[in-house]
Chains A and B, each alone.
Chain A
Amino acid sequence: MAHTLLIVDDSASMRQMVSFTLKDAGYDVISANNGKDALTKVDNAKISMVITDLNMPEMDGIELIKQLRGKPGFKFIPIVMLTTESQDSKKLAGKQAGASGWIVKPFKPDQLLDTVRKFVK
């Protein structure tokens, strides 16, 4: 059975790019616009991995990671943040909140897949 990945980003083009790449590689994808949206979508799904942007309206990525780590099914699943070159402090905050790794924007589809394959087999 294919793994289901959750992609959280407020930019539609970004979401589309990521989910197209992942679907093309054979994963199932659930997308969400922001942290709050994501939390409403994860309850009934078995998620293998989360990829989340950090700067988002309503609820940002750091808060989302904290909340997810508090949920029973999300204690051990990999959560990767999408960061930019200039967000080093955010990266640290994300790690402390429980993120597994990060992908620096802009990235190529192959880099995304390399990172995903690090966590999901």
Chain B
Amino acid sequence: MNVSEQHKEAFREEAYELLAELESALLELEENPDDQEMVGRTFRAMHTIKGSGSMFGFTDIAEFTHDVETVFDKVRGGLMSVNRELIDSTLKSCDLIRAMLEGGGSVDEAEKNRLRGIFSALSRSGSEQGTASASPASAAQTAGRSSSEKTYRIRFKPCREIYLTGTDPVLLLNELRELGECRVVAHLDEIPALEDMDPERCYTYWDCILTTSRDENAIRDIFIFVEEDSELRIDMIDESGGLLDEPAQKKLGEILVERGELTPEDMARVLQGKKRFGELLVESGLANPSQVEAALAEQQQVREVHQRRQNSDVASSIRVPSDKLDILVNLVGELVTVQARLSQTAAMKNDSHLTLIAEEVERLTSELRDSTLNIRMMPFGSTFGKFKRLVRDLSNDLGKEVEMITEGANTELDKTVIERLNDPLVHIIRNSIDHGIEAPEARQAAGKPRQGTVRLTAEHSGDCVFITIQDDGAGLDKDAIRAKAVEKRLIPESAELTDKELFGLIFAPGFSTAKKITGVSGRGVGMDVVKQAIEALRGAIEITSRKGEGTTITIRLPLTLAIIESLLVKIGNDRYVLPLSFVEECIVMTRKEMEESHGKDLANVRGHMVPYIPLRSRFELTGDAPDIQQVVITHIDGERIGLLVDTVIGEHQTVIKSLGRAYRDVHGISGATILGDGTVALILDIPQLVKWG
């Protein structure tokens, strides 16, 4: 017996076992047609018989099993159901496979053809059913694709000997076309004169503009066998991140300059003429026709992709009045509160059935909460148009040349946050242009480009969004800030301040360094108001600057306002809520430790002394603190500050309720929430507590 016969014999053994298993699974399936495990076992057994059969020469078995396997794959995928006929035919198929394994003339060809007919009909009908029910999913996929599509520029210059390795570059380009919408321009400028030409060599190279949902690796995979010897450059030139109102389309000259095929100087010179730019380039010999054609193809494709995206965006969304959304969020908030009560009641009753239901409700509520809050999210880019207009108008008024660059248009934020962010951002951008960016002459004298830049970016990081406003202007004048702060008696003359503390003075009430009030900035609101507005959104603002190079203002914001993750703590008989985004850790504080610190409110956190605010005395609560208290260590503006509480209860989903006008001036409290047992807990405003503590 040779090796291959041994393999075959091994396969026969395996197949007999599989058939026996298959039969028992089928009989079970007849009892319980919905038993997914049995369906899976049947499919796997058929799959193995087919796979191994083809590996070891039982091609007839593999071919016959193929349709049976397909049918059970459909059953597994829920596209077809098990019935008596199907079980019958499958059992008969088992007998037939057994006969085929034994070989010889024992195979009933008529029966085989009959069964093949049945299964191939079933697998086809299943697949029609399959395509019908799969089409909504694929439609969703298409819709999803338009939002994740990227456009790549691919320069493929194969080595001249490519034909000699049996590779046809045209097939590779065809493969590229299968990835998405693709324009290919061939460059023929390297083809030598006829007498110098070797017909077995490849002198052509290609530029392809491809819009695809696949990533760069998928493109590289196509060229895997030739990449080493060829010149292959893949650049991403357009992302769906580009927003509708952004003029993301590049001019022909810009594209050629970006590719290094034209110098900016040449471009400026050619622009003096009046003919179409492409024609001029070709005439002046600075670019050849195919280079221009490739760049034009790129321009065209990007334009089309944007157009299509715009259309699909319109088609795939509906408009809803925002107060309807607010009602929905409020209702979800109520539901979260009720759900907390249900969970608490279930825990108290110690009833396993009730607990089970409570847990299910908890899961559903949290999903409902997440998707509801998600509806309220809007891309930050929706505000870019307005800011660009602001920059344009302001720079005209002030005789400055300013360009605004925006990034992160797709970063999503709660609708309310975006609305309330408008005034602070307008103020910051005004400041940047008025005080930051210098006049064109001054910039030129300082060796900077005449045109200044204001960059507005938004990006996600964890459960926060960072918004930065960066200008390349004069930067903050530390001496002027210091002098002003001394004059306003914000700091003593001898104060030694770090840069951060010094820049932080800008946010102090009543501070303004502008020598005179212009019509642009200094319109009543100062940076202190900006800071308050950001803190009201439970955010933080930070400023960094280098003289002569510019200023960067970073705003950190929570993703949403309506419902937050928080830490529930207890002081005396009252419970309080701390937003979890500020909390770093909790440590235990014994009475002995407190006595040892001699009345200084300092906690020892692994060797570091961290100041804390004793909330019990701060809130003037009567009664004695327990022997063991806890300090919640929070993180604010780069500082660690503790809050001393009686006990930490645990994490909590907090639905934020406003306290109303009457309590608006109470410092340190930002709202209230209703707990599972129906009592009210106050939400602590940690930045304010720290500021006033």
Contact = CB atoms under 8 A, between A and B. Distances in A.
Interface string A99-121: 11110000001000000001101
Interface in A18-39: 20-21, 24
B322 interface: no
A98 B164 contact: yes
Given A13-B4, A118-B172, A119-B171, A100 B59 contact: no
A76 B166 CA distance: 4
A78 B163 CA distance: 9
Contact of A121 (B59, B165, B171): B171
Nearest to A68: B166
Contacts of B4: 12-13
A78 B172 contact: no
B511 interface: no
A116 to B, nearest CB: 11
B175 interface: yes
A118 B175 contact: yes
A60 to B, nearest CB: 19
Given A76-B166, A78-B166, A17 B54 contact: yes
A102 B4 CA distance: 25
Interface string B1-38: 00110010000000000000000000000000000000
Contact of A12 (B57, B62, B63, B164): B57
Given A13-B7, A119-B168, A20 B62 contact: yes
Contact of A119 (B55, B62, B63, B167): B167
A12 B200 CA distance: 37
Interface in A48-107: 49, 69, 75-79, 95, 98-102
A5 to B, nearest CB: 13
B175 A119 contact: no
A100 B175 CA distance: 16
Interface string B161-183: 00111111001101100000000
A101 B162 CA distance: 12
Nearest to B172: A118
Contacts of A21: 54
Interface in B392-419: none
B151 to A, nearest CB: 24
B663 interface: no
B165 A118 contact: no
Interface in B295-318: none
B320 interface: no
Contacts of A17: 54-55
Contact of A99 (B165, B168, B171): B165
Q: How large is the interface on A (under 10, 10 to 19, 20 to 34, 35 or more residues)?
A: 20 to 34
Contacts of A99: 165
A12 to B, nearest CB: 4
B240 to A, nearest CB: 28
Among B7, B172, B224, B225, the most chain A Cβ lie within 10 Å of the Cβ of B225
Among A13, A21, A79, the most chain B Cβ lie within 10 Å of the Cβ of A13
Contact of A20 (B3, B59, B174): B59
B166 A16 contact: no
B582 interface: no
A78 B491 CA distance: 80
Contacts of A75: 164, 200
Nearest to B8: A13
Contacts of B62: 20
Contacts of B3: 12
Contacts of A76: 163-164, 166
Nearest to A21: B54
A101 B225 contact: yes
A118 B171 contact: yes
A78 B56 contact: no
B220 to A, nearest CB: 14
Nearest to B228: A95
A20 B66 CA distance: 13
Nearest to B167: A100
22 contacts: A12-B3, A12-B4, A12-B57, A13-B55, A13-B56, A13-B57, A16-B54, A16-B57, A17-B55, A20-B54, A20-B59, A20-B62, A21-B54, A76-B163, A98-B164, A100-B167, A101-B225, A118-B225, A119-B167, A119-B168, A121-B171, A121-B174
Interface of A: 12-13, 16-17, 20-21, 24, 49, 69, 75-79, 95, 98-102, 109, 118-119, 121
| 8 closest residue pairs by CB, A with B | A78-B166, A101-B225, A100-B166, A12-B4, A17-B55, A16-B57, A20-B54, A100-B165
Given A13-B57, A99-B165, A119-B166, 18 more contacts: A12-B3, A12-B57, A13-B4, A13-B56, A16-B54, A16-B56, A69-B164, A76-B163, A79-B166, A95-B165, A98-B164, A100-B166, A100-B167, A100-B225, A101-B225, A109-B54, A118-B171, A119-B171
